[in-house]
Amino acid sequence: MLAAFSTTEKKADAEKIAKYLVDKRIVACVNIIKIENSFYRWKGKTEKHGEYLLIMKFPKKNFDRLDAAIKRIHPYDNPELISMKVEKSSRKYYEWVKRCCL
């Protein structure tokens, strides 16, 4: 199982992405967390903006589908998508994640 992260500037965009990914059964769950400020380099300048963090849980086999979906529906030119392996989880939760995803 993986947990992946992406950010959006607008809550509506985060919710649209989350609903799409769950409806298409690419991910089992998306948490959306408001971030007060993000600092990053973009087009040669340091930027500072509030963002919404999406935390997505899904089987490893779905990463390529997630990557393609994020590229297709995300409003950013270069959307963040990073993932980390979940070292441990409850067996019941892991089985639920697998059942929710195609």
Q: Which CATH number do you get for residue 52?
A: 3.30.70.120
pLDDT-derived band at 7 (thresholds 50, 70, 90) equals: very high
pLDDT tens-place string over residues 28-65 = 999 999 999 999 999 999 999 999 999 999 999 999 99
Average pLDDT over residues 20-35: 98
Q: What is the pTM of this model?
A: 0.94
Residue-number span of the structural domain to which 92 is assigned: 2-100
pLDDT-derived band at 13 (thresholds 50, 70, 90) equals: very high
Number of domains into which the chain is organized: 1
The Cβ of residue 4 has, within 10 Å, a number of other Cβ atoms equal to 22
Q: Identify the CA nearest to 52 among candidates 13, 2, 16, 26.
A: 13
DSSP 40-66: EEETTEEEEEEEEEEEEEE-GGGHHHH
